[in-house]
Amino acid sequence: MNRPVLTRPTDYLLVDISNSYAKFAFASTKRISTPVRIATNKLSGSVFSRFLGQRRVRKIVVSSVVPKKNRTISKAAGKTGVLWLNSTVKLGVGIDYPDPETIGADRLANAAAVTALYGCPAIVVDFGTAVTFDIVSARRNYIGGVIAPGLEAITNFLSCADPGGAVSERKASRGGHRRLRATHRSAVAGDHGSPCAPHSGGATDYGQSQFVIVR
């Protein structure tokens, strides 16, 4: 007779779905396992179910900026509760920002994490498909930030600025342009009709802020 496979219990399965990659990690209130990463376009119900089946979890916590993948997670979760990270969740940090519902889940997660781990005021820099800068004030409130072009967009810009240089020989991945379009509306890139348009900007002094880089 075959014995049932026993899975290790844990408190949470953390899920981070970004434009480029989906990351999974099991976590307790004290530890987080090494994350597993797959391309977001490869994320399916069967893939998620296999990962979820590795351990018994009390709750799935999801930070997603790809709405079309949310139904996949909800369906594969079955009877396991899912907590969707958004501006209505108590994160240990306030929100002093117009239209809080428009803030990306990933940016809220960064704000909550930096406040819990390092205190505030703080600035979080997250390098992903785009590079985001998010600010938590001394009053423990998320007050907004900036979305800037990611590495691929910057590489394309340099290709325009120096068409005869070595940078122009680097070709973007086929999927890269699609991901960049997804973040184009929010990007503060100084794009005035041309990817090579000049851009000028300013900086604000936030005093003794923590400056945290998320890799």
Model confidence pLDDT, tens digit, residues 114-167: 999 999 899 999 887 788 899 999 999 999 999 888 777 777 777 665 555 544
Closest CA to 109 of 134, 128, 131, 77: 134
* pTM: predicted TM-score of the whole model, two decimal places: 0.66
CA 161: distance to chain centroid?
29
CA distance 174 to 42: 15
Tokens representing residue 87 in the block: 């501006």
pLDDT at residue 150, as a whole number? 79
Token pair for 82: 């899912």
- Cα separation, 43 vs 48, in Å, equals 7
Query: Hey, what CATH class is 88-215 in?
Result: alpha beta
So what's the pLDDT on residue 57? Answer: 87
Domain boundary assignment for the chain: 8-84, 88-215
Distance of alpha carbon 57 from alpha carbon 76, whole angstroms = 13
Selecting among 11, 99, 106, 205, the annotated active-site residue is 106
Mean pLDDT of 105-120: 92
Give the per-residue SS3 of 161-207.
HCCCCHHHHCCCCCCHHHHHHHHHCCCCCCCCCCCCCCCCCCCCCCC
Contact 52, 13 (CB under 8 A): yes
Q: What is the pLDDT of residue 127?
A: 85
CATH topology agreement for domains 8-84 and 88-215? yes
- 191 included as an active-site residue: no
Greater confidence (178 vs 164) lies with 164
What pLDDT, in 10s, does the model give residues 10-64?
A: 789 999 998 889 999 999 888 888 999 999 999 999 999 988 888 888 899 999 9
3-state secondary structure of 16: strand
Nearest CA among 125, 138, 134, 75 for reference residue 104: 134
Higher pLDDT, 3 or 85: 85
In 3D, which of 128, 111, 129 has the Cα closest to residue 119? 111
Confidence of residue 107 (pLDDT cuts 50, 70, 90): very high
Q: Topology of domain 8-84, per CATH?
A: Nucleotidyltransferase; domain 5 (3.30.420)
